[in-house]
Structure 1
Amino acid sequence: MTLLSARDLHVTFAGRHGAPPARAVDGVELDIGAGEIVALVGESGCGKTTLARALLGLVRPTSGRVVFDGEEVRPDARALKAYRRRVQLVLQDPTGSLNPRHTVYEAVAEGLRIHGYTGDERAAVAEALSRAGLRPPERFFLRYPHELSGGQRQRVVIAGALVLAPELLVADEPVASLDASVRGEILALLLRLRTELGLSALVVTHDLGLAWNIADRVAVMYLGRIVETGDVEQVLTAPRHPYTRALLSVLPEAPGDPVILSGEPPDPSRVPPGCRFHARCPVLASGEAEQAGVADACRTEDPEILDGGPHAQVACHWARATAPA
C-alpha cells in the first residue's frame, strides 16, 4: 500500500536580476509504501532537500501533487497542520534543531502543545524518549542540549518527532553530523522504529553506504529529477545509470578505479537539452553511447520521467538500449 506519492512535482525558484528560474525539482514521481524505507541519494545541489521540503509542505510546489494516504495534501494552514502531525521531519544538525534554552522535556513536548494534545503529556514525552533510546527518560527531562552528546541530541530530535505518533519520518541527512561510532546506533534505531511501530521513512542522503544499510528502495536524483530507482540491492549491486555507477565507484569497497566526473553539475536555471547528465557522462565521452546508436538521443532527447513505482527503472538512453532482451 502506497502511503505518500509525489505526482509530476515541480518546484521552481525565481531567478535573480533577470536570470531564468531555477528548476530545483523538475518533474518527480515518487512513491513511499507503508512500512517502507526509501533512500533519496545524490550529490549536493541535486534537489534532494527541496524535494523533501515540498513533500512536507514546507515549500509549495510550483505544479504537481503530493498525495498522502489517498488524499491530496492541500496548502491551507489547517490541512497542513493535520498532515504534519502524521509526517514528521528529522533534521541533519541536532544542535541547530534544538533550542539551547529549552530542556529536553520542553523540546519533546513542544509538538504536543502545538497540536493541542489532551492526554498525559509527561507520559507521552517519557515514552517518546524511551523509544528513542534515552532511558530512563526521566533522567533527561531537565537536561539542556549542551549537556548531551551529539548522538543523544539526535535521539532527542527523533523523540520530538515520535511523540506525535507519526506514520512517516522524513530524515534529512540524519547521521551526517555524527561521529562514525554513533552513526550505526542511530541507523539501528530507525530500523527498530520501523519494526516496532510500522513507520515509513524517506532518508535523504549523499551516502550510498548509508542507503545500503537502511533502505528497502533507493531513488537516485540528479539535477532535479530521479534518474534511477529500484530495490536497494539491485540498484547498488548492478547500477544501470552512469551517474549511479560514478557515485558507487568512490566507495572504499568498490572494485576498480573511481569514476571522476568532469565539471560541476549544471545550473538548475540552465538545464541542458537532451539527457541532463550528458555533458558529464563517461559513457557518452568514451564512445559507448555512439556504439549503441544513442549518442544523438543523449544530446537531444530528454528521457521520460520515471513513474515512481517500486520496480527498477532508469532514465538513460544507453542503459535502455543495452539492456538484455
Structure 2
Amino acid sequence: MSEGPLLTAAGLRVSFPGRRGGPPAHAVDGVDLEIGRGEIVALVGESGCGKTTLARALLGLVPAERGEVAFDGAPLDRTARGLKAYRRQVQLVLQDPRGALNPRHTVYDAVAEGLRIHRVGGDERAAVAEALSQAGLRPPERFLLRCPHELSGGQLQRVVIAGALALGPRLIVADEPVASLDASVRGEILALLLRLRDELGLSALVVTHDLGLAWNMADRVAVMYLGRIVECGTVEDVLTAPRHPYTRALLSVLPESREAPVVLTGEPPDPARIPGGCRFHARCQVLASGEAERAGVADRCRTEALTVLPGAGVACHWAGIGAQTA
C-alpha cells in the first residue's frame, strides 16, 4: 500500500464537443488534485464551473482527454475490468436520492444491488443489515422491506449511502449530498459522513456550492472556477483567510460574513472560449478597482495563466503564493 495520497489527479482535462461545430468546451481544464487517506475534501464553486464533471472524471464515468488519475499509488486501469474493480473502492453518492433509487425496489434490494453486481460472496442479508446500521438506519430490520415512497428524504439518502457502504469502499464521491434535503436533516447527514470518516477511515470528495457545508465537515477545500482549481488549502486557511479574489467574493455574500458583499459582474466566460491570462480576470474586483495595477501585476493577470499545486496554493498573481505558471 502506498503511503501517499489515496487519490491523485494530475493535469486532468475533460472536453465536450462544441455547439454547431464550434470549438470544444473545456469543462475540466488541467486540474491537479489529491485526496488523502481518511480526509474529506470539499470541491466548491459556482454552478457550471466543472465540479460535477471533475467528480465523474475521477470516477472514470466520463473519459479524460488528457491527464492521469491514480488510486492508492497506481494509475487508474481504464479497462472494463479495471474500472469495475476501482468503482468497488470508490463509490458515488448522488444529490437526489429519489432519483437514485428504483421506486419498485425494496430497501433490501437497493442496498444489495452493488453486492450482486460485484458478485460479493458471503451472507448478503448480514452485509445489507450492517450497511444500513452504519448509515444510521437502526434497527435495520425495520427498513429492509420498505419501499422508497415510505421513507423520508433523510432516510432515502441514508439508504443511498448504505448502498455505497455495502461494498466497503475507501472513498466516497458525494455530489451535493444534502442539497435536496430539509435544513433540519442536513446536519444529520453531515454528521453521518464525519462519523464514517472517523470510524471507518473513509475518505470523501464532497461536491458542493455551499461554503457553510465545507466549513462544517471538510478538512481541505478546493475552489473551482471555469474548469480549474483556483485555490486549495485547509478549511481554516481558505475560509478564514482566502487569498483568491473569487474565493473572497463567494465568502463575502454569506450571511455571517463581516466583509462587504462583492457582486461579481457578468457571467463566467464560455468554456469553449476561455480567455488568456487568469481566467477570472474579466470579473476580478481586484483588477477592476486598480489594486492589481498598483501592485504591478495587472498585465500578468491579463496575459499569464496560473495553476495550483495539488496540496495547497492559489492561482492568483495578486496573491502570489503557491502558484506556478500553467
1:124-273 matches, cutoff 5 A = 124-273=127-276
Q: CA–CA distance in 2 between the matches of 1:108 and 1:173?
A: 20
Q: Which residue of 2 aligns with 1:4?
A: 7
Question: How far does the alpha carbon of each residue in 1:95-144 deviate from its partner, in whole angstroms, 9 at most, with x for none?
Answer: 10000010000000000000001100000000000000001101101101
Residue 308 in structure 1 maps to residue 294 in structure 2: no
Q: CA–CA distance in 2 between the matches of 1:260 and 1:125?
A: 48
**Larger mean Cα displacement after TM superposition, 30-39 or 11-20:** 11-20
Q: CA–CA distance in 1 between the matches of 2:89 and 2:309?
A: 25
Amino acid at match of 2:182: D
Q: CA–CA distance in 2 between the matches of 1:156 and 1:267?
A: 38
- The Cα shift of 1:69 comes to 0.5
Q: Which residue of 2 aligns with 1:317?
A: 317
Q: CA–CA distance in 2 between the matches of 1:164 and 1:8?
A: 30
Q: CA–CA distance in 1 between the matches of 2:84 and 2:21?
A: 35
Amino acid at match of 2:53: T
* C-alpha RMSD of the superposition: 1.0
Q: Which residue of 1 aligns with 2:116?
A: 113
Amino acid at match of 1:316: C
Q: How many residues align?
A: 319
Instruction: Determine which of 26, 29, 42 is the counterpart of 2:45.
Output: 42
Q: CA–CA distance in 1 between the matches of 2:150 and 2:182?
A: 17
Question: How far does the alpha carbon of each residue in 1:64-118 deviate from its partner, in whole angstroms, 9 at most, with x for none?
Answer: 0000001111221000000000000000000100000100000000000000011
Q: CA–CA distance in 2 between the matches of 1:235 and 1:17?
A: 40
Question: How far does the alpha carbon of each residue in 1:265-304 deviate from its partner, in whole angstroms, 9 at most, with x for none?
Answer: 111001011100000000000000000001111111112x
SS at structure 2 position matched to 1:230: strand
- The Cα shift of 1:197 comes to 0.3
Question: How far does the alpha carbon of each residue in 1:168-198 deviate from its partner, in whole angstroms, 9 at most, with x for none?
Answer: 0000000000000000000000000001100
Q: CA–CA distance in 2 between the matches of 1:183 and 1:6?
A: 29
Q: CA–CA distance in 2 between the matches of 1:117 and 1:12?
A: 35
TM-score (norm 2): 0.97
Q: Which runs of 5+ in 2 are unaligned?
A: none
Q: Which residue of 2 aligns with 1:60?
A: 63
Q: Which runs of 5+ in 1 are unaligned?
A: none
SS at structure 2 position matched to 1:53: helix
- The Cα shift of 1:307 comes to 2.1
Q: CA–CA distance in 2 between the matches of 1:166 and 1:302?
A: 37
Amino acid at match of 1:313: G
- The Cα shift of 1:14 comes to 1.1
Q: CA–CA distance in 2 between the matches of 1:186 and 1:4?
A: 24
Q: CA–CA distance in 2 between the matches of 1:225 and 1:114?
A: 34
SS at structure 2 position matched to 1:95: helix
SS at structure 2 position matched to 1:320: coil
TM-score (norm 1): 0.97
Q: CA–CA distance in 2 between the matches of 1:92 and 1:243?
A: 25
Moved over 2 A (4+): none
* Contact preservation (8 Å) 1:11, 1:26: yes
Amino acid at match of 1:320: G
* Contact preservation (8 Å) 1:241, 1:316: yes
- The Cα shift of 1:16 comes to 2.0
Q: CA–CA distance in 2 between the matches of 1:90 and 1:248?
A: 26
* Contact preservation (8 Å) 1:38, 1:201: yes
- The Cα shift of 1:258 comes to 1.0
